Amino acid sequence: MSKLKKALEKAKSEYPSIQLHTPEKREVTPIPVPGEPSVPRREVNVNYSNTKVRPVSHDQLRQNKIFALFSQEKVNDQIKTLRSQVLNKLKKLGANDFMITSANPGEGKTFTSINLGVSIAQELDKTVLIVDTDLKNPAKDHYDFAKDFFSVDVETGLADVLQGKVDLNDALINPGIDKLTILPGGTYLHNSSELLGSPQMERLVKDIRSRYKDRIVIFDAPAVLACSDPFQLTKFVKNVLFVVEEDKTTGDDLRKALKLLTDIEMIGMVLNKSRTN
């Protein structure tokens, strides 16, 4: 048994876990398949009446791997199982927010945050806000939350809200998906760690957590072994969903990362890009 398998088996015995597969590469269907959910281009929640709407085409969202919108994608079933597990756990905890992190960059945190968020927004009684808390100048191979997943170019976001440069309501975006709002990261920062751990962040988290009671808030965080930012976030967001990438995250990385995450509630582990059944 590989080191990762051992570490993972141990973690899995302690926390609920789910596998997410990588769909096989195939041509993107250019025309929406009959029976597919259409992507509504309107806001449904009157509370978001001031929210900017930036609709993205159906095909683009599929290319950007927002598979939760497409029922014929096999991974959609796994995302739905993950959704049930996470919602059950949150209900037990009486919580409506959690963060997603992993040991290293590129293991699928943003993919999971967005697909899970979109899937939760499809539940009848839930609205979702996904917050990009990756505020540092990104590595070259980093996929940007707003630009690469939602194809929206934005200049302002969480970083600007925390610095008092824009109001939260002006930074929120509805990407044309029913009941889903996103808060992009905004201007890159050198002092992201300080801002994420600041009283401004604490107030913002309290505000967005309490404003709408049926809203689930997902914080897409950076990697635990890459910088101290996720730890700043755990001061205010205690529930953590942890992503492990099959064949990439090592057992040592997993152990190190879990050891560093103290004073948190681990709500589950995701084995991402899994090829085993």
Residues making contact with ligand ATP (CB under 6 A): 20, 22, 65, 102, 105-111, 134, 142-143, 222-223, 272-273
Min dist. Cβ of residue 42 to Mg ion (A) = 28
Place of tokens 């990009």: 132
Q: Which residue lies nearer to Mg ion by CB, 97 or 107?
A: 107
- For residues 70 and 111, which CB has a smaller minimum distance to ligand ATP in the complex? 111
Pick from Mg ion, ligand ATP, none: which does 22 bind, CB < 5 to 8 A by kind?
Answer: ligand ATP
CA distances from 77 to 23, 49, 139, 181, 275 (A): 12, 32, 31, 23, 15
| Smallest separation (angstroms) from ligand ATP to the CB of 182 | 14
Q: Which of 142, 105, 118, 126 is nearest to 61 (CA)?
A: 118
Strand segments (E) across 26-121: 52-53, 97-102
> Toward Mg ion, which CB reaches closer, 110 or 272?
110
The least distance separating ligand ATP from the CB of residue 225, rounded to whole angstroms, comes to 10
Nearer to ligand ATP, 20 or 39 (CB): 20
Q: Which does 98 bind (CB under 5 to 8 A by kind): Mg ion, ligand ATP, none?
A: none
Q: How far is the CB of 266 from ligand ATP (least distance, A)?
A: 17
Binding partner at 107 among ligand ATP, Mg ion, none, C-beta below 5 to 8 Å by kind: ligand ATP
Told to check if 110 binds Mg ion by CB under 5 A, we report yes
Q: Which of 197, 98, 182 is nearest to 144 (CA)?
A: 182
Interacting partner of 37 out of Mg ion, ligand ATP, none (Cβ under 5 to 8 A depending on kind): none
Site of tokens 């905890």: 93
CA separation, residue 247 to residues 43, 189, 270, 271 (Å): 40, 32, 13, 10
Query: Going by C-beta distance under 8 Å and a sequence separation of 6 or more, which residues neighbour residue 158?
Result: 131, 132, 133, 135, 171, 183, 184, 185, 186, 204
Residue 222 or 251: the one with the smaller Cβ distance to ligand ATP is 222
Residue 188 CA from chain centroid, whole number? 19
Q: How far is the CB of 265 from ligand ATP (least distance, A)?
A: 21
- When the beta carbons of 7 and 79 are compared against ligand ATP, the nearer one is 79
CA distance 223 to 106: 8
Task: Give me the residues that bind Mg ion (CB under 5 A), please.
Answer: 109-110
